[in-house]
Structure 1
């Protein structure tokens, strides 16, 4: 369903906007460096967010990164469950908008 990510494809995209890609890569490196949060925690957050945003490329990139940074399979799955709850919770919270509209009728 999605094109396979290859170096050739990445190079083609980068060639179309080299300054943007360089800035984004530097931003990404900075964001994922250890700071107040360690690198493993940042990768677990990325895995969870990748599931909420439903980005298959992000899931494929950040899941192995989380493992390389020391996350267990159980921690990764727990992060996915947290993401699932947050996504479901948001849908339920937005029911307030539907309730408001229903009250008009």
Structure 2
């Protein structure tokens, strides 16, 4: 297991995802359309939706999802405190496993936040 829960996870998954996307392009296109529709700003802004997705990624114990939504939440302007509070809700809903995956998610978020802020 790597010490990075953000960039390294994304890089590890990239070639495998590319291969599968080439094998089933129509499925990936459909998923892309669903993704874009679900995360499009509406009554909830994109930042809030990405924080929800990050919390769900913790609940699903999906490192790739955590990396993707931590990155997107940062890109939409989420702060470390907003991420921490969203992740705190996962403790309520998932108990002990959320303390592990929540910590991974917060590490990934802080990694992307530091990169964006030039604090790396």
TM range (shorter): 0.7 to 0.9
Count of aligned residue pairs for this structure pair: 87
- Counterpart position of 1:53: 60
Segments of structure 1 that go 5 or more residues without pairing to the other structure are: 89-105
Give the corresponding residue for 1:27.
34
Structure 2 unaligned runs (5+)?
A: 2-8, 96-120
Residue by residue over 1:37-76, the C-alpha shift from the partner in whole angstroms, topping out at 9 and shown as x without a partner, is 1000000001110101100001111012111111100110
Aligned-residue RMSD, C-alpha: 1.6
- Structure 1 or 2, whichever has the larger Rg, is 1
Q: How does 1:1-105 map to 2 (within 5 A)?
A: 1=1, 4-6=12-14, 8-88=15-95
Q: Distance in 1 between matches of 2:24 and 2:75?
A: 30
TM-score (norm 2): 0.67
TM-score by length of structure 1 reads 0.76
